[in-house]
Amino acid sequence: NAGVMQNPRHLVRRRGQEARLRCSPMKGHSHVYWYRQLPEEGLKFMVYLQKENIIDESGMPKERFSAEFPKEGPSILRIQQVVRGDSAAYFCASSPQGDSTDTQYFGPGTRLTVL
């Protein structure tokens, strides 16, 4: 049973470009979470999605960031017009039921570098 898949593992963008990060949850999981890890920091929650629905986006910056989890295909975290401060590791996690006692299973992360 494959774990949470994320791609690309490393992404380099110049300021002003767009970054698209993909996450495929574990088989049978319909709840996806995105977290950001800045250098020397813990992970910060960004957004929680179910299929075709954004449940909680309280951690998303108000501008340039968006997320989706379509009926078919992976969840996408999109960052438009990237800036150097967006450089971070972005982790996706999935869980089967979205219950607060559920374990969230994390992917290997995408390390975004903005030049």
Partner 1 sequence: GDSVTQMEGPVTLSEEAFLTINCTYTATGYPSLFWYVQYPGEGLQLLLKATKADDKGSNKGFEATYRKETTSFHLEKGSVQVSDSAVYFCARTEGGSEKLVFGKGMKLTVNP
Cα-based distances in Å from 84 to 13, 17, 81? 9, 11, 10
Question: Residue length, the chain?
Answer: 115
CB of 32 to partner 1, least distance (A): 11
Residues at the site binding partner 1, with contacts judged by CB under 8 A: 4, 6, 31, 33, 35, 40-45, 48, 56, 59, 91, 93, 95, 98-109
Q: Which is nearer to partner 1, 19 or 92 (CB)?
A: 92
Q: Which is nearer to partner 1, 24 or 104 (CB)?
A: 104
